Amino acid sequence: MVSPIELKAQHRKIWRVGFLGSGRLDLALPVFRRRMIEQGYVEGSTYVLDVREARGQFDLLPQLMKEIMNGGPDVIVAEATPAIAVAQHATSTIPIVMAPSTDPVGSGFVESFAHPGGNITGFANMFGDLAAKSLEMLRLVVPSVKRIAVLMSANPTHQKMLELARGGADRLGLTLFPFVAPAPADLERAFSGMKETNCEAVYVLADPFRPAIAKLAAEARLPSIYQYSLFVDIGGLMSYGPNILSIFDRAAVYVDKIIKGARPADLPVEQPERFELVLNLKAAKALGLSISPSAISLADKVLE
């Protein structure tokens, strides 16, 4: 005979969380899963995590989203603007957590930060606001730089970010040269073009994590600045921006709130509270750069 407690356990709701990645999720998922555990969830018992990742192949996102929808998700986490846009197209009723979006209002994902107004909420990374400041930081570390490549992808936010960067470049007397690598397979061609154009550094616009970029920048001997520090951890010269992995921790908090009954329309879109300058002195040495003590003193983190 089944006891009342066992009967209750058999009928307990197992929540389904879909996680759609524009890029690779191998660094984001451990952070997300750890926070879910801290909130009392047991994967496979109290919730199921259905993960799909495009790994930079944005054209795969609609099919991956369809697979998630076929599983009947209760809530969807979408990583970066390309995945958020596909998730928004797929459903207007299932809650979607952006993790993160560069321009959630301008992209049409939410009505405002304070009052999202629909089935989407989550996190903004403020990368567009940092475009000009990132160039200032690059010039601080590499004072002689004049010609800067801007590495873009098929990410729909990149054109606006390039325009914002151009405004900062004009004020600093810098010349920008955009190079578009729509997919990971296009990166080598983009870096060859940078060398042919005599670019002296590369500014990598925020995008799902593509580890090959740091390696290609080092091989091309181009000082590189990124908008989050994961690239610096694997050999990139420097980064300026928010702590991206902390956003996936917060995404799990929002998933918990939604599971417990909160409506996305009532959950404000969060923005980063601080930005970090991270420098890699080993990468600088390999490039023959000597970073000034004043620049090092401004860094939040220095990798020796």
1 pLDDT exceeds 60?
no
Q: How many Cβ atoms from other residues are within 10 Å of residue 251's Cβ?
A: 26
For residues 78, 83, 84, 87, the Cα torsion angle rounded to the nearest 10 degrees is -90
Q: What average pLDDT does this structure show over 167-194? A: 95
| Residue 166 confidence (pLDDT) | 95
205 pLDDT exceeds 60?
yes
Q: What average pLDDT does this structure show over 285-289? A: 96
Q: What average pLDDT does this structure show over 187-192? A: 97
- The residue to which tokens 């400041």 are assigned: 133
Q: What average pLDDT does this structure show over 23-48? A: 96
75-79 vs 224-226, strand pairing mode: unpaired
Residue 188 CA: distances (Å) to CA of 15, 202, 205, 248:
42, 14, 16, 30
10 pLDDT exceeds 50?
no
Element (H, E) at 304: none
| Residue 82 confidence (pLDDT) | 94
Q: What average pLDDT does this structure show over 69-97? A: 97
70 pLDDT exceeds 50?
yes
CA pair distance 262, 255, nearest whole angstrom:
9
**Burial degree of 290 (CB within 10 A; 0-12, 13-18, 19+):** exposed
| Residue 12 confidence (pLDDT) | 67
88 pLDDT exceeds 70?
yes
Q: What average pLDDT does this structure show over 55-63? A: 94
Phi, psi for residue 53 in degrees, rounded to 5 = -135, 135
Q: What average pLDDT does this structure show over 17-22? A: 97
Phi, psi for residue 56 in degrees, rounded to 5 = 90, -10
Q: What average pLDDT does this structure show over 94-123? A: 96
51 pLDDT exceeds 60?
yes
- For the stretch 210-237, pLDDT in tens is 889 999 999 999 999 999 899 999 999 9
| Residue 6 confidence (pLDDT) | 41
Across all residues in the chain, what is the average pLDDT?
A: 93
Task: Say if residue 100 is preceded by a cis peptide, omega within 30 of 0.
Answer: yes
Q: What average pLDDT does this structure show over 239-246? A: 93
Q: What average pLDDT does this structure show over 180-192? A: 95
